[in-house]
Amino acid sequence: MLTKRFVLILAVITFVVTAAAVFAQYTRWADTIRSVTSEPAFPKIGDALASITRIKLTRADDNGQGSFTFSRVGERWVIDDKGGYPATQSVIRQMLLGFTELKLVEAKTRIPARFEKLHLADTSQAGSNASRVVLEDQAGTVLLDALFGKRVASLSGSTPSIYMRRSSENQTWLATGELEIRGEALQWLSPQLLSILRERIERTTVMAPGEPPMGLIYDNQHKRFSIVDLPSDRVVSSNYQLLQVGILPERLIMQDVRPSEGLVSDPALGGVVWRTKDGLTVSLEMAADPKSGDAGRPWAIVAVDVAADAKDKVVKEAEAIITRTKGWAYWLGEPILKRLRATRDILTNPKS
């Protein structure tokens, strides 16, 4: 039987244990959440935007998104690690403006062991998910050096937040603003090389390695491609598979880019030619990497021609493609390469 004295002692012990637990949790929170404020994260960067000439984006060696550097050449930003290929200018501008608008709203942990929970561990550490951004002027003076981690969406639909800390400090912050630091290199440039609708194409000629050229034409009435001069004893095995070959120029996307200098086109590696009804001709020529000699991973070089009687709109389109692709070679990826290597034997079956 429980006595009043025993119950009282039990209550006192429970109160002491609970109070100790609350105090311990409060101490932990107090160490993590220091204060609430609202001040610019980088108050001087707005006045320095015009002087920024280099952006260094660094991630951990085992971070698949990679590290790269941007340089400003005249009024244009380029990716140094891709041989100076133009970045998407609006993406760079939006990020730089994001730094000027970022506001510190809540101080977080100063304990390094807790940094990675916010994706703010030093990028020199394996497994770090942080993105370190360094902005420099032409003299190499560092204008901004900070790590950026997890993004936090606003449940109310208002301005999102991001965790950050200055590289020389342990203090981490929750900051609000529209700052977006993109991932892999392709997210910083325009990967689409061509946009030619199937209805415009008069003839496609696919030249798979070791095979005779294969012609394709598009039947606009029946909305499908057919193979030119297909032997009478064979039939298309899959109109869908043939369609995937035919529509490649509608949205031709690259997976990597490098300067074309030092590359030599090799007809033995295949290629493709698209000729439109309005006088535009676009070719992809393939070249093996001279360093690796890997013919199984060829680089595509774009060549453009335009008919003498083509309208101004087509001429301007050709000029835009030349401006975008001249001097560059592209890795298109295995799925596209597979479609470019399609043959009559692959796309057809014997007629039963």
Beta bridge partners of 77: 72
DSSP 11-60: HHHHHHHHHHHHHHHHHHHHHH---EEEEESSTTHHHHGGGEEEEEEE--
pLDDT of residue 18: 64
Residue of higher predicted confidence among 155 and 160? 160
Q: What is the DSSP string of 250-275?
A: GGEE-SEEEE-TT----GGG-EEEEE
d(CA 25, CA 23): 5
Under the banding of pLDDT at 50, 70 and 90, the label for residue 26 is very low
- Name which of 8-22, 176-190, 199-213 the model is least confident about: 8-22
Q: What is the mean pLDDT of the chain?
A: 90
How does residue 289 score in pLDDT terms, banded at 50, 70 and 90? confident
Q: Structure tokens of 147? A: 């790590």
Q: What percent of the chain has pLDDT over 70?
A: 88
Specify which residues 349 forms β-bridges with.
235
The answer, yes or no, to whether residue 29 has pLDDT greater than 50, is no
Sort 129 into a burial class: Cβ within 10 Å, 0-12 / 13-18 / 19+: middle
147-156, 293-302, 332-341: which is most confident: 332-341
Report pLDDT for 292.
73
Q: Residue 64 — pLDDT band, cuts 50, 70, 90? A: very high
Amino acid letter for position 206: V
Q: Which of 196, 198, 250, 204 is nearest to 228 (CA)?
A: 204
pLDDT in tens, 107-159: 999 999 999 999 999 999 999 999 999 999 999 999 999 999 999 987 777 88
The pLDDT of residue 32 is above 50 = no
